[in-house]
Structure 1
């Protein structure tokens, strides 16, 4: 797995203090601080970068250089700073905000695909803070359709409209058939039980497709175009590595 590139960005005295506290626990993170606040940084081994001028002039470079950007700046200010640089959830880095008292860690951008939700939980644990997650599948402790099995090397195969529609069905607790014919069985990583609306099957042929609103299918099989057409926007397929059986 590729190393996650992380930036801790501070523009206030308190922010520099929190960055100094957090940086040793994230040894690969780079601390990015304004020239005025550099003197408030503590003693740590992490690389540091001191910039001059406005933070707004640094955002484009930060977006290009890092996978996770942790701002020790107010949420409103961060929203305004990053807005001109947003592209898509497939391209944008994860963006997190930590409040000035280090009580809350808020994923702002790319919570799922960019990994900001998971990173927020990690950082919150390190700070003994509260992660503020607003993504429906995380709040509801259910399947994140768009990134299911990503840490296992699974690739999602479906039109975007299918992913959107099936995600809505999952979070709305409609009956979902989960068919696993291949891949690791360790795909459910939450500490809570699998939601009751998710029903497990070992073969697609065992599913009464009229009984379930949507179907998640983990398989190495080639999918007949007629199956895609018959299920319309109700099907999402996952492709595990071929060495996962």
Structure 2
């Protein structure tokens, strides 16, 4: 299985105070690039990070940042960031992760693409480096439960289900309703949280062992073909994951 490329991270400061906060974090993320107002660029001299000064309005830089980076960390107020990025939003599948570090560097807030785009995970990493708190608001991350739409992504699993299924099943998961997790293939190391698996998730090794009447949804990791009749029977209650060949 190919190793994914590391995320392209930008650390962005508009003010002198923001540049000072950024300077505290940058040495711990040497691969991150620094985007800073040109009049404050000299204050970041000596860092190993690549520094890209800009002139003019930050609003003129946003389109380029969205195209060039996977995670954009702003040392700017949350309200200012919302106004800056609003004209450039497309969808959660396309937008980069956007984060804000507050003025006191006490909180790291994922603003955009926290879940699918990876900003929540990035926020937790940055918070650990700063001794700050990551403020997570997406239901599966805040509730420490299964992220249905990206489960197994780091293991190379491919999700197979209509979008409406993913939405409906995610709701059953976060609402703590009984959900069957059937694993017939793939790595067993899919649960990466330090907390225990939520009690509403019931584990099975074969689909045939699941009492469908007792479960609101099914998450099925398999290499088997799923008959069209079964998709129809379960309506919007089924999400299937396909692990890469040889991963068992």
Shift of 1:42: 4.8
Shift of the alpha carbon at 1:112?
1.4
Give deviations 1:95-135, integer Å, cap 9, x for gaps: 00001111000011111111000010000000000000001
CA distance in 1, matches of 2:232, 2:161: 12
Moved over 4 A (4+): none
Q: Check whether the contact 1:166–1:214 (CA below 8 A) recurs between aligned residues.
A: yes
Q: Distance in 2 between matches of 1:87 and 1:74?
A: 22
Tell whether the 8 Å contact from 2:41 to 2:51 is kept in structure 1 after alignment.
Answer: no
Pick the aligned partner of 1:9 from 9, 12, 16. 12
For structure 1, the 5+ residue unaligned runs are none
Mean alpha-carbon deviation: is it higher for 218-227 or for 18-27?
A: 18-27
- Of 54, 68, 73, which residue of structure 1 is paired with 2:71? 68
CA apart distance, 1:38: 1.9
Cα distance per residue 1:6-37 (max 9 Å; x no partner): 00000111210111111111111000001232
- Residue number in structure 2 paired with 1:159: 162
1:175 maps to 2:178: yes
After TM superposition, the structure 1 = structure 2 runs for residues 51-200 of structure 1, keeping only pairs within 5 Å, are: 51-200=54-203
TM-score, normalised on structure 2?
A: 0.97
Three-state SS of the structure 1 residue aligned to 2:61 is helix
| Structure 2 unaligned spans of 5+ | none
**TM-score, scaled to structure 1:** 0.98
SS of alignment partner, residue 108 of structure 2: strand
RMSD, aligned α-carbons: 0.8
Distance, in Å, in 2 between the alignment partners of 1:193 and 1:47 is: 40
Task: Return the offset for 1:62.
Answer: 0.1
Distance 1:131 1:94 in 2: 14
- The worse-fitting range, judged by mean Cα deviation, of 31-40 and 60-69 is 31-40
Structure-2 separation of matches of 1:95 and 1:134: 14
* Map of 2:215 onto structure 1: 212
1:235 aligned to 2:238? yes
